[in-house]
Structure 1
Amino acid sequence: MTTMGEERSRRWRLVLGGSEEPGQGDEGGEAGGAPAEQRSTLSPRDAAMDEALDALYGDSRGGDLSESMPDVARWLGDIRDYFPESVVQIMQRDALQRLNTRQLLEHPELLAEVEPDAALAATLLSLRKVMPAKTQDTARQIVAQVVRDLMRRLEYPLRQAVSGSLDRAARTHRPKRWQEINWQRTVYANLRHYQPAQRAIVPERLIGYGRRRTTLRDVILCIDTSGSMATSVVYGGIAAAVLASLPSLSTRLIMFDTAVVDLTDQLADPVEMLFGLRLGGGTNIDRALNYCRSAITRPRDTVLILITDLFEGGSKEGVVRQVADLLADGVTFVTLLALNDQGAPRYNAALAQQLADLGAPAFACTPDEFPELMARALNGRDLRP
């Protein structure tokens, strides 16, 4: 059990940060710094809190968050994990004052000098609640520009990958009607059976078009909106908007923290959809998967992409059970630990391994790799990288 003296030393250590030398101030460290042994034995959680505080307020780094913590979106997620909401609001306001982003937002003419990207959009979305009112329009413009750029980047490769995959999936080798035979593909498939004497090809294997349904596959993107996943939320939301525009797919977008929100009806306007999100908060994957299961009507024709770092705040056992049931029903299921250009430096490795053991792979994916991932998922091929 922690004594009052140890708790007081711990608090002084977090207040003073790591730049203070042991022994400064009053003896014993109660008013001028924690004793050396206390300073070097922080728990992992306290060490993470200290790092988050030092990134924003540390003198050794000049108090410049934009230089000391390039991944501001992840930092914003971390502070929500370590501090109460009232403290988080103060730290976010301080961060907004120190970030170069503030100068950018208050001077729109500077936009010509920078290249907005998904990480910047994620940072703006994370800071939206504490953003001055006069910067809201500029922030929306930046998010809109990022959405346009990413739509152009993702639309063609996603359309090609999905179209090619579903064309293959729609073929049948047992066409029942004459008009269902794809003669061009049938001829190519039977060239080795050409009979010179008869100057004819014997079609030993027929390839047909099959009977196309209005939608060949159902796709669900289920995305964690906790602060550490902010960039993945941007990419995932835009990917969902592109997929929703394909008539061969029925696409749903589910976002969650401790609550679950179905944003499928907002996919036609990804800018408004993203700008209306409330990033941050806890994580309840179990609840989100339960909602997804209730929305599935054709399990064997459904692909469910869960985008999360797997730091479950609800029931880990429930997550494993839900995934096992989804797989047993025939759903194609994959966990993306991140959908961004940086990879997944931090995730719940133990839970990821449990899902992998069930046959549900868990890995990071870049946006450029996502079209191939969707093609493999729609075709029922091995999803492991």
Structure 2
Amino acid sequence: MSSEPAPTHQSAPAHEPARERARRWRMVLGGPAEEALGKAEGRDGQMDAAMAALYDSAGPGDSEAGSKRSAGLGGSAPKVARWLGDIRKYFPSTVVQVMQSDAIERLDLTRLLLEPEMLAAVEPDVHLVGTLLSLNRVMPAKTKEAARAVVRTVVEQLEKRISQKTRAAVSGALNRASRINRPRHADIDWDRTIRANLKHYQASLGTVIPERLVGYGRRTTAVQRDVVLCVDQSGSMASSVVFSGVFAAVLASMRSLRTSLVVFDTAVVDLTEQLSDPVEVLFGTQLGGGTDINRAIAYSQQLITRPRDSIFVLISDLYEGGVREQMLRRVAEMTAAGVQVVVLLALSDEGAPAYDHENAAALAALGVPAFACTPDAFPDLMAAAIERRDLMAFAERLETAG
């Protein structure tokens, strides 16, 4: 047995935890805590300066009187560009996106986004794309190419995130929806067949004798479902517009679906012909303006020629500026004809949206639930709609999971 003493671990000085707590509180409280907690130095000092430039500066509606302001971005494009570079250096991308969004809102930097040099410095994300799309009509030609590059980067990121799951969920749902009980041998779903015939297990033979075969219908390249996405492009729906455009492009790439994309405010625009390029789709939108849901549904009804094989997805906060009674009547007509109607109050990661509760309740009374959906849940929603599952139950599960 060894007589060597047991190894000892060098412990940190007792004052280290207290010092770290003081450091963290100093970073949280900012400059006003400098006298009590000390000055932030080194990397901490640079991070503190970047945060102070945004959060210790006067934003719209803030008063300079009675408030000590230690920094600011002002309206200087070079200063803002340097600040954007600093926050990308010191903070993770998720934090950078929040700070960029706050800067656009608090410091009114929208004007500076019209400069190509600024767009080259920002961290691309869905919120930034929404802001750029809202500026589309006033954007100078020299900026549009830079803006398109930002939008394309975000679109490619979203496609990587959603395309595989969407295709798998939709293809699986279409196959299940076409299941038949007299399949050819190659089309037998052995898993479901065995489970459906377990009561016919023959112990002496050690196998199941199937009395009923379960399988898929013949594989086909024919269009099996028509999908119409009808998207509200009012200003509050910016993120939903971005996600909807990308999802529409993914669905349009599937030969088993006939996908249409309609966007609307008080006017209606059909972007179906542009679905091969989601960037063109997004630049075809015009965020802002009023809302006429009734007019958009009326147009969409013309696109539905096979009601029982059609899915109509309305993405809107339901604040109707058109004729409410007609809107509800049109939804009732579609459901009565056999159209699977889905109403999403938002298609985004932004949490609970604001929406018209009265209209949502009226739709629910028609058997059409209105609920918010995250992009990650949308493929499963489409699968449920294709299989004509209970969407009320789906919405409840989604709300519980959230």
Percent of pairs identical after alignment? Answer: 54
Alignment-derived partner of residue 261 in structure 2:
253
Q: Distance in 2 between matches of 1:366 and 1:262?
A: 24
Does 1:153 find its partner at 2:156?
Answer: no
Structure 1 residue 361: Cα displacement:
0.6
Q: Distance in 1 between matches of 2:120 and 2:263?
A: 34
Conserved 8 A contact 2:316-2:344: yes
What SS does structure 1 have at the residue aligned with 2:63? helix
Q: Distance in 2 between matches of 1:56 and 1:173?
A: 66
> Following superposition of structure 1 onto structure 2, how do residues 68-107 of structure 1 map, counting pairs within 5 Å?
70=102, 96-97=110-111, 101=113, 105-107=116-118
Does 1:110 find its partner at 2:121?
Answer: yes
Structure 1 residue 72: Cα displacement:
6.3
- Structure 1: 5+ residue stretches without partners: 1-54, 76-93
Aligned CA distance change for structure 1 residues 57 and 201 (closer, same or farther; 3 Å): closer
Conserved 8 A contact 1:376-1:382: yes
Alignment-derived partner of residue 275 in structure 2:
267
- Report how many residues are paired: 305
The partner residue of 2:215 within 197, 201, 208 is: 208
Does 1:197 find its partner at 2:204?
Answer: yes
What SS does structure 1 have at the residue aligned with 2:322? coil
Q: Distance in 2 between matches of 1:285 and 1:367?
A: 22
Alignment-derived partner of residue 17 in structure 2:
none
What SS does structure 2 have at the residue aligned with 1:346? coil
Q: Distance in 1 between matches of 2:225 and 2:377?
A: 20
The partner residue of 1:340 within 322, 344, 348 is: 348
Does 1:380 find its partner at 2:388?
Answer: yes
Alignment-derived partner of residue 42 in structure 2:
none
Conserved 8 A contact 2:119-2:147: no
Q: Distance in 2 between matches of 1:264 and 1:318?
A: 25
Conserved 8 A contact 1:170-1:212: no
What SS does structure 2 have at the residue aligned with 1:60? coil
Q: Match for 2:255: what amino acid?
A: P
Q: Match for 1:331: what amino acid?
A: V
Q: Distance in 2 between matches of 1:230 and 1:108?
A: 19
- Structure 2: 5+ residue stretches without partners: 1-57, 65-71, 76-97, 396-402
Q: Distance in 2 between matches of 1:167 and 1:68?
A: 44
Conserved 8 A contact 1:337-1:344: no
What SS does structure 2 have at the residue aligned with 1:380? coil
What SS does structure 2 have at the residue aligned with 1:282? coil
Alignment-derived partner of residue 58 in structure 1:
61
The partner residue of 1:310 within 318, 326, 341 is: 318
Alignment-derived partner of residue 24 in structure 1:
none
Alignment-derived partner of residue 86 in structure 2:
none
What SS does structure 2 have at the residue aligned with 1:338? strand
Provide Cα deviations, 1:263-320, integer angstroms capped at 9, x if missing partner. 1111101111212322222211111111111111111111111001111111011111
Alignment-derived partner of residue 328 in structure 1:
336
Aligned CA distance change for structure 1 residues 109 and 309 (closer, same or farther; 3 Å): closer
Conserved 8 A contact 1:57-1:63: no
Conserved 8 A contact 2:176-2:216: no
Provide Cα deviations, 1:225-254, integer angstroms capped at 9, x if missing partner. 111111111100100101111122111111
Aligned CA distance change for structure 1 residues 108 and 336 (closer, same or farther; 3 Å): closer
Alignment-derived partner of residue 377 in structure 2:
369
Q: Distance in 2 between matches of 1:173 and 1:106?
A: 63
Conserved 8 A contact 2:103-2:109: no
Runs of 4+ in 1 over 6 A off after TM superposition: 61-69
Cα root mean square deviation, aligned: 2.9
Conserved 8 A contact 1:56-1:64: no
- TM (normalized to structure 2)? 0.69
Q: Distance in 1 between matches of 2:99 and 2:188?
A: 62
Q: Distance in 2 between matches of 1:63 and 1:316?
A: 46
Conserved 8 A contact 1:56-1:95: no
Provide Cα deviations, 1:357-385, integer angstroms capped at 9, x if missing partner. 11111011111111111111111112232
Aligned CA distance change for structure 1 residues 193 and 360 (closer, same or farther; 3 Å): same
Q: Distance in 1 between matches of 2:121 and 2:186?
A: 61
